[in-house]
Structure 1
Amino acid sequence: MKTKNFISISLLLGLFVNAQVGIKTTTPNSTLAVAGSMGADYKQITTTTYNITATDHYITYDGAANATFTLPVIGTGTASYTGRIYKIKNISASGITLQASSGNTLRIDNTPVASFVIPTGAYAEVVNNSNTTGGTWDLSFTVLPKPSNVEIYGIQLTIPPHANGTAPIADWVSHANPAYDSGTGTDAWWIISKASTTFAHTAGYSNASRMMLVYEFQGTPFNVNNMYPILTAGNNSSFPDIFTASFVSLANVSGKTRLTVSVSRIDFIGSNGANNSNWTGTFLLNLLLARKLY
């Protein structure tokens, strides 16, 4: 019996001296080595006010309104919680205000804060530290909400001079004038055709000068299903011209995406001596393509 007790005590002392424990492994390489999966407490919350407990670990919120989660009060000894980690996932359509208890704070950077908002679809991880003068909880990791269900592409195209301007540029078809193309390589946009309509200014009515422009994307054609073009005309020249751009059509033609736009000059209709509303300069067309993914 004495020998057996001696062996048992020796094994126990060896365990504490080595300070390494293995679960399903005989060669632990850390203080605790687990050769297998691990589990911890999981809880899904729907109430809008929740006090996080000492036994919580992973918390999911799926309530119907904005919620407030409060971290435990930090104490001493077994209530010091140093190193304790909480994982919080927001799967609701509302926000979670994560706040420290009275007398405690969150530390996002060097400036402690009282609370942090976890938006819809986001994930946050906080860990308790031993800091007694700054934040007592570190916001150690955050993941932003899942990507938007909108895919966006943008480019700046050119609006060429009018065919009836003071210094006219003739209209064309079949990409006969590449001087006004935009972009390079597979991100290039060609102006396939340009059709100008001059102003009409009579005693009975006035029509603005306008052009019908067909742009063609030279890269892989876009998926134009559920795609919505947003157009704005710009002016970075010394001319005072003001334009409006109207969407006409967006379609894939012969393996290329084609955008048809009508551009009108809206600040001036008619003529004033040598000046007229058929524009001469080259201007900008800002294009944003937004496609709804689901």
Structure 2
Amino acid sequence: MTVILAFLANILVAVAKTIAAIITSSASMVAEAAHSWADAGNEVFLLIADRRGAKTKDARHPLGYGRNAFVWSLIAAFGIFTAGSIVSIMHGIQELSDTGPVESPMVAYIVLGVSFVLEGASFTQAMVRSRRLAKERGSSTWDFVLETSDTTLRAVFFEDSAALIGLAIAAGAIAMHQITGVAAWDAIGSILVGVLLGVVAIILIRRNIAFLVGATAAPKLRARVGTALLGLDDIERVTYLHIEYVGPNRLFIVAEIDLAGDAREHDVARRLRDVERRIEAHEAVETVVLSLSVDDEPSLEFARA
């Protein structure tokens, strides 16, 4: 729902900005139109990411299809955001030598104002959700958005943040053009919007690459998982723990454990499988693989998360 609302808002805003750009001949409005069309295109890729990543695991993909979400989000960040950035910067550079007056600036201000309201509504929804989830995990909102495996939420959060900042830049650039009569201010506004898009693109690209190549779990998540394992009656200690994201909010867990008691090998194998099934029943766990610890291996300790 978050992506769909953002997509509809971006389409309306993109059409309005495009019309305003034609009427005003403002470089900043052209950059903002490119920005919104890039955002709308990004939402399409995010919808594809959600759909492809939600497929259940099968024999060919025993860890599921969740990494599809990271792939499509990476394509969106690299292709759409980067394209919007290049268009905005190049157009701004071309318009630096323009000496024309501001045409119908009120049209630009009205469109920018309405866009700010629509983008603000979408950003508020993403912010509220991010704050709630960050609070549940004992993290700051900023750290949560950067570290979360929910690539859709992160993309919408940064997308809407950049949209609001870009609108302020465009309005300021047009105002300076109008006040000073120097058209370079408008062109500078276009360049700044392009730089902003480029920064957002780099952040999103880096985060998606990190998850695709197997980023290690954050210490707080590792502590929560380790504590949860030790909380099971069957597990006395944990000597090895590997946690990897295989999709948004989907974990692949490998652990070496010491089972309680001293049962026969046949019974131990059955107990291991039973513990695995119970762990995999958790909504955030895609697959778990458990093996037995050796007696002389040191136990892992987990700080309270």
TM-score, normalization by structure 1: 0.22
Higher relative contact order, chain-length normalized (CA < 8 Å, sep 6+): 2
* Bigger share in strand: 1
> Which is higher, the Rg of structure 1 or of structure 2?
1
Question: So what's the TM-score if we normalise by structure 2?
Answer: 0.22
